[in-house]
Amino acid sequence: MNSSRKWKFYFVQGLTLVRAPLIFLFLGVSVLCGHPLSTPWFVVAFVAMLLSAVTDLFDGYFARKFSVTSQLGSYADPMTDKVFYLTTFPTLVYLASRTGQLGHARALLVLTILFLLRDQWVSFLRSIGALHALSAKANWSGKARTLISFPCICVIYYFLQAPPGWPVRISPMLVYWLELLSVAINLISIGVYTRYYWPTLSAELRLPEDRDTDKSR
């Protein structure tokens, strides 16, 4: 690997892996730096979250552009996505409850559980699919979920934590509609992945001797 190609390779891997420390910075500031956050701390947390979300859009693009796609990237990208969700959603629940928005906190808790259940279900289906050499690549519903969820999380955080004197305010109704949209795309994604992997799942649900009989025919 020449020096130029090596630089491009490590640049792309860095874009993927930096997502985790950025979102941990967001977590630390949001939880440990007081409530309400001062304007400087809010800017630090919000920018860290935005950068963490944006890297997800560009690491794959540059990997393809520079022709440096790798197995490491294919595994690291969904892993860092999960770190993003596992960190941000519980933090949003905590912040909503801390600001006295108990109903909103309950709704965010339901959304958090749905996100995590969807990820675990898809991981399970991919494991079953691997037994039958079925591709584990993300489909359109997974990509749509990412495109919707990352901006939604950033908007919710801004709504919950923006300092009172901040010039741009977000309507609660916009936040609630975005959360409903997130619920919808997660349910759609669960359905799409289940349908795709259903033949392999149904095959594994059969008795071993029945599967062996079909193979012998």
Quick one: average pLDDT of 126-131?
A: 89
Q: Is the pLDDT higher at 212 or at 183?
A: 183
Q: What is the pLDDT of residue 217?
A: 53
Q: What is the pLDDT of residue 13?
A: 78
Q: 23 and 84 in contact (C-beta within 8 Å)?
A: yes
Quick one: average pLDDT of 119-129?
A: 91
Grade residue 82 by pLDDT with cuts at 50, 70 and 90. confident
Distance of alpha carbon 201 from alpha carbon 136, whole angstroms? 14
151-183 pLDDT, tens digit per residue, is 999 999 999 999 888 888 899 999 999 999 999
Q: 59 and 73 in contact (C-beta within 8 Å)?
A: yes
Q: What is the pLDDT of residue 6?
A: 81
Quick one: average pLDDT of 93-116?
A: 94
Give the chain's domains with CATH numbers. Answer: 3-206 (1.20.120)
For residue 10, pLDDT beyond 90: no
Grade residue 208 by pLDDT with cuts at 50, 70 and 90. low
Long-range contacts of 38-46 (CB under 8 A, 24+ apart): 38/163, 39/163, 39/165, 39/166, 42/161, 42/162, 42/163, 42/166, 45/157, 45/161, 46/154, 46/157, 46/158, 46/161
Quick one: average pLDDT of 82-110?
A: 93
Distance of alpha carbon 4 from alpha carbon 213, whole angstroms? 55
Q: What is the pLDDT of residue 212?
A: 57
For residue 49, pLDDT beyond 90: yes
For residue 60, pLDDT beyond 80: no
Q: What is the pLDDT of residue 69?
A: 72
Quick one: average pLDDT of 24-28?
A: 95
For residue 66, pLDDT beyond 90: no
27-39 pLDDT, tens digit per residue, is 999 999 888 889 9
Quick one: average pLDDT of 212-216?
A: 54
Quick one: average pLDDT of 201-209?
A: 77
Grade residue 135 by pLDDT with cuts at 50, 70 and 90. confident
